Structure 1
């Protein structure tokens, strides 16, 4: 008996030792499959992550290099990430040549980690270069694409770190379109780029107000302001939820989520039809609202998948969705058709399936999502929409008047479940040119780190600029860092700033022509002032450290910047080795003086409430109403005060909107508090119906909209004028 116990113990020790040996080996994390030939674009930047820090002495052109099909070494550049675990292999200056039949990327076994371990064996990857995006072309190719993803998942783990089916959400040479309203009689959505309209829950044409709320669209006659009228309602069944609007010359586009319910079980439907049914889609419903009292349905465009974002340039709408197909069903039934679907009443009734020849794919991507982009003209409801489809998703979107950019974090490149540290992905930027109905892929580029939101990206004088965070602020063993990357019109690197604010992450950014502002945070709020008139050599000119953070930045004028975020308090903990705690406090508004770029100053501040105080503007820039000439800075807000008995308790105080005036010499002055409380009585807790969601103005009248009512106010005295109940 003892003999068997001893033998069992020895076996367990051997297995444990063997497991430890393999788990602690220095190796590539995102290794390519053996004998697999990769397809890449000409400007491919290889991002190779290792399990350990790499010895800088062993990182040489003879340890990692690329050979062409004739065995000739290609001139590439090697660089290391801040944590020394990722190697970046830049392409030749003019990109990889298309006349080579193939290239081979080599990793020599003498490449060492900082701990002295080497790779143990030579490794090589073969790849070919394509000029344009390849297309799937056939059912077999599409199935093979997804079967390879299934193999990868089975090889690494049963799941992933995160689902990739997630979505959205500077003045450059132009001013913010909120300022543009100063020259008109009514306000517009607070858009990022002038001339590029963003969909929102409220729109106005200066006479009428259009509001998306729950399952209906409300069309309100705004004048006279003391006698507003609800002209019409467009109600929808529970399967459709409207949540975004565009308005253009008497045409209203209502964008929302469409759910397709069926009495048959999902599995039975796919067995019967061999085509996966469309379960969720994004639908744009177009109305003629020249007579607002009688809106007329004129068109519907529907794309399978969830809503990512949308933009409008003049009468052209660009609608972008992400679709995550149930490709795991191919394990049981390879005959299934998992192509995405769409419909457009301008081209007939019924669903259409995207042709195999029209499904493009990003060759370096291992994403399972489809991205669909539909372009359609509000002024030509009978003209068929142009739908382009790509295998590979985007998470954030930025659009100028000429180009659309999608940013996707490369989570799918890293194996899941076979290592102990969470990966710190990089981001691929995809560029598409926009010209009327034509949406054409222009190229891709890799930047280190991840993108926070659309304000982290910008296009200016032919260059694309983006700020990113690499790593995680909470990971002290691999401190995060932040960077600015500037790419030319072909997405080739032009200039960069790296290793900014180590241990922190980006909370907000704003691009204003040659000036770039970026806020990072962990314990204090550094505002970086960057000058980029020479795209090849951007420079940090100034830095300001203050308590709190701004998660939205808005231009006031060329020398002043408004920051909107939260105040913070540092709580010092007792005990040896105790770390201080950071508590988020009230909403904080700051006016920064950046006239001296080398010495930025927080000129004025306003703190509203205590912990728990929150404004939709903290997460959604479209919640802001700002006009410098009319001296109005207004936003919805819920205010809480701190309890004196417990630092974690909050006392509800107010729900509604605050209206401020701003003066660069006097600072912020609260002009009015607007609330939609029932019968004008103070509430004891937050409620849904009185929650003001948007503010706008028409001529000299301010309007506040909540789910339950709309109120009008004099824009100079803020005297209440009229109320219209909407329930």
Structure 2
């Protein structure tokens, strides 16, 4: 009996000990003592993630602090997130002093959880501070970077296999907001772009007489004006795998064709790896290409220059005569973990080739590869600066290790947004949503130079959530998760000065919702969030240190595209929605029910009004404009608001949705009467309902030259007179 009681007592003691240990708060992202001392930038915000909610009263200067190499405490400030699990350590106002050889983060065990549990002991954590992005420098350091990534991936795989994952919310819903007259009011329309004077690549370009269009594996040049004389004048074709065109840039008498090349490799990246190891490495070579053609004679395009970068296409911009081509390269680094493959025989750097450089194909120099200190991603981001009109001047390649998933470019600067995730080293089921690091670069022709960085709570939806105005960088983000009550989503606006020091903010907008679109319009900022209704927030940012929400409008549906009509009116383009009750869940779910267009009167910032709406019915109806701002044709003077559309109607009791219209809709807009349908344009010959779309006759773009509007599909170009919409020209592109 005594033995039984003794055994029971031991079990109880062990149970109590385990319960105490399991509930003891831990730092989840403590740095591994065996890993290389991390390098951070001068204004780095350190972030500590705890496994339990922390008593705010125990977060103070004697429990969390930073010292320099001489033991002197730094003037940092502490803030704790609403989730009470994340502590942010703000750097000194002027940044960490670069004269110190290292710094140390101290986390003392005086910290308690909200349940009164003492924190588990954490050894001091050293870090090094640099002014600019650190350089890889050597092959050994690059291989070490990827070997560490392999180690961390294996750890994450083990976590996920037990069901322990960091949940993130998909932000794939694209939105767009364009400048009011990006199409201009001259003789011809141009691509709708975010920043006036910074052109964006597109599948169609127009110079007022000729139209340049990508058609699958070729680029077609068409003399479009006058419409009565419309004809094809040239076609740029490519050999198999040589170039698959994706987008175009037009600059004076030069046409840039951007696309991918996918070639079999004669050698395995010329790495020197033996044939016996070939199964470990890819046998194809995926590159991004930019071919520049002299088109002084539109009927005879002449290939003038080729630039080739290993990797995939992200985006492109043109400022004056320079093309800035942004790409990502994902190296196959896993062979480094194979015992029979020696790391010294594998070169993981991206290769580039420029016809203006006689050296031919070559690797990026190790000393010219920087890395984003806050990113754990294993891909290279490459910014290629290419002079369009100087075929003999070499391109310049600015290379960074780490992901840049969103890019905003003003007339002076490039901002790259990088998602950052907690580096959790301890098993946890606590959910942490990603945040964002923003890196600012100046550019001057071929020179792209890193300047500053900052960290932002939440994630950026797309390029239109970022803006630069009067030297200040402004960004809208969403943090948390929409459907998680323990870590609910909220939305924020942050304003930074030219050195990316935060000077103003609005936090915790529309808790439980997320951003669907944003529009920055000088001193006014408009943000649309959504979960079940569409709140439009009107923000006054005339004082960037104290931005204020002036008005809020809640309406059914959501706008994932905002377009300024004038300084007091906005056009919202998105989806009409309805709430559908479901007995199996506590909340009704949202169902889309067609396209919705709205006119918002924001002349009184305190009282925004939805003055007019237009709903294009059909719960399967969609437009490319919902996710691609370049598909809009807008001109205020000509009173055109036109976009491609697919109208799908679902009939009750039937198991399929039918496509009742495929084409484009052209509206006029009047502030008194609202939206007026001027024309429905279609390239589809068969009338009536169809089950499927007709891919070849889908209208992709609309443009105008003089008083003629053109609709372009993969099969034809139709021309209509703008005042009457009478068809005045047609060109079959399949002949």
Which interval holds the TM-score relative to the shorter structure? over 0.9
Task: State the 1:590 CA deviation.
Answer: 0.7
Partner residue, 1:678: 685
Is 1:361–2:371 an aligned residue pair? yes
| Cα deviations by residue, 1:27-75 (Å, 9 ceiling, x for unpaired) | 2222211154221111111122222222211111111111112212111
Aligned residues: 713
Measured after TM superposition, the shift of residue 154 of structure 1 is 2.9
Q: Assess, with a 3 A threshold, how the Cα gap between structure 1 residues 588 and 238 changes in structure 2: closer, same or farther.
A: farther
Q: Residues 412-461 of structure 1: CA distance to partner in whole angstroms, max 9, x if unpaired?
A: x4348943244301100011101111100012110000000000000000
Following the alignment from structure 1 to structure 2, what is the Cα–Cα distance between the partners of residues 676 and 295? 29
Once residues 649 and 16 of structure 1 are traced to their aligned partners in structure 2, the CA distance between those partners, rounded to angstroms, is: 58
1:635 & 1:193 partners in 2: Cα distance? Answer: 20
- 2:32 maps to 33
Residue 666 of structure 1: CA displacement?
Answer: 1.2
Conserved in 2, the CA contact under 8 Å of 1:428 and 1:447? yes
Q: Does the CA-based 8 Å contact 1:39-1:363 persist in structure 2?
A: yes
Distance change >3 Å, CA 162–CA 62, structure 1 → 2: closer
Matches within 5 A, 1:568-587: 568-574=577-583, 578-587=586-595
Distance change (3 Å), C-alpha of 1:26 and 1:367: same
Deviation, 1:290, is: 1.3
What secondary structure sits across from 2:154 in the alignment? helix
State the secondary structure of the residue aligned to 2:668: strand
Partner of 2:358: 348
Q: What does the per-residue CA deviation read over 1:115-172, in whole Å, with 9 as the maximum and x for residues that have no partner?
A: 33332213321112112222111111111112222222233435797999x999899x
The whole-number CA distance in structure 2 between the counterparts of 1:694 and 1:24 is 59
- Kindly indicate whether residue 291 of structure 2 is the aligned counterpart of residue 285 of structure 1: yes
Distance 1:170 1:512 in 2: 16
From 281, 289, 313, the counterpart of 2:319:
313
Instruction: Give the match's secondary structure for 2:124.
Output: strand
Moved more, 424-433 or 266-275: 266-275
Q: CA deviation at 1:18?
A: 8.7
1:510 matched to which residue of 2? 519
1:99 matches 2:75: no
Q: Deviations over 1:568-626 (max 9, x none)?
A: 10122347x63211111101111110000000011111111221101001001001000
My pick for the range that moved more, 75-84 or 400-409, is 75-84
Q: Is the 8 A contact 1:676 1:706 kept in 2?
A: yes
Q: Is the aligned partner of 1:690 residue 2:689?
A: no
1:202 aligns with 2:204: yes
Q: Which whole-Å CA distance do the structure 1 matches of 2:19 and 2:715 have between them?
A: 62
Residue 464 (structure 1) aligns with: 473
Q: Distance in 2 between matches of 1:280 and 1:16?
A: 56
Alignment CA distance shift 1:20-1:328 (3 Å): farther
Contact persistence 1:83–1:479 (CA under 8 A)? no
- 2 CA distance for matches of 1:77 and 1:199? 44
The equivalent of 2:464 in structure 1 is 455
Q: 1:3 aligns to what?
A: none
Q: Which ranges in structure 2 are unaligned for 5 or more consecutive residues?
A: 1-7
Q: How many Å separate the matches in 1 of 2:486 and 2:687?
A: 54
Distance 1:155 1:170 in 2: 35
Q: Deviations over 1:369-421 (max 9, x none)?
A: 1110100111111110011111111000000011001101113x434894324
Is 1:132 the counterpart of 2:132 in the alignment?
Answer: yes
Partner of 2:622: 614
Q: Is the 8 A contact 2:111 2:119 kept in 1?
A: yes
The question of whether the paired residues in 2 share the 8 Å contact of 1:156 and 1:418 is answered with no
Among 533, 551, 561, which residue is 2:570 paired with? 561
Offset at 1:21? 6.9
The 5 A counterparts of 1:482-631 are 482-574=491-583, 578-631=586-639
Partner of 1:6: none
Could you say what secondary structure the match of 1:346 adopts? coil
| Kept in 2: contact 1:178–1:191 (CA 8 A) | no
Does the 8 Å CA contact 2:271/2:347 hold for their aligned counterparts?
A: no
Distance 1:624 1:670, change over 3 A: same
Give the alignment's Cα RMSD to 1 decimal: 2.9
Q: Which residue of 1 aligns with 2:4?
A: none
Q: Deviations over 1:162-208 (max 9, x none)?
A: 999x999899xxx9566154441000000000000000000011110
* Bigger Cα displacement from structure 2, 237-246 vs 553-562: 237-246
Does residue 724 of structure 1 match 2:731?
A: yes
Equivalent position of 2:249 in the other structure:
246
Q: How does 1:20-419 map to 2 (within 5 A)?
A: 24-34=23-33, 36-157=36-157, 179-239=181-241, 240-262=243-265, 270-271=273-274, 279-332=285-338, 333=341, 334-335=343-344, 336-348=346-358, 350-411=360-421, 413-415=422-424, 418-419=427-428
The answer (yes or no) to whether the contact 2:375–2:418 under 8 Å persists in 1 is no
Could you say if the C-alpha distance between residues 337 and 672 of structure 1 is closer, same or farther in structure 2, counting changes exceeding 3 Å?
same
Alpha-carbon distance change, 386 to 265 in structure 1, aligned in 2, over 3 angstroms: closer
CA apart distance, 1:535? 0.9
**Structure 1 residues 116 and 720, CA gap change in structure 2 (3 angstroms):** farther
Residues 612/263 of structure 1: CA separation in 2 closer, same or farther (3 Å cut): farther
Q: Which moved more, 1:417-426 or 1:39-48?
A: 417-426
Where does residue 5 of structure 2 map in the other structure? none
Question: Could you tell me how far apart the structure 1 residues matched to 2:301 and 2:212 are?
Answer: 12
| Contact 1:590–1:606 under 8 Å retained in 2 | yes
C-alpha distance in structure 2 between counterparts of 1:421 and 1:633, whole Å: 47
1:427 aligns with 2:441: no
| SS of structure 2 residue aligned to 1:446 | strand
Are 1:170 and 1:512, in contact at CA under 8 Å, matched by a contact in 2?
no
How far is 1:19 from its partner?
A: 8.2
1:209-253 CA deviation, whole Å, 9 max, x = no partner? 000121111111102202311111112234232111000111000
Distance 1:143 1:170, change over 3 A: closer
Q: Which residue, out of 713, 716, 719, partners 1:706? A: 713
Deviations 1:486-538 (A, max 9, x none): 11100111111101100000000000001000000001000000111111111
Offset from partner CA, 1:304-346 (integer Å, 9 cap, x none): 1111111001111100111111112111231211111111111
Distance 2:682 2:155 in 1: 57
Which runs of 5 or more residues in structure 1 are unaligned? 1-8
* Superposition deviation, residue 542 in structure 1: 0.5
User: Using a 3 Å threshold, how does the CA distance of structure 1 residues 278 and 355 change in structure 2: closer, same or farther?
Assistant: farther
SS at match of 1:526: strand
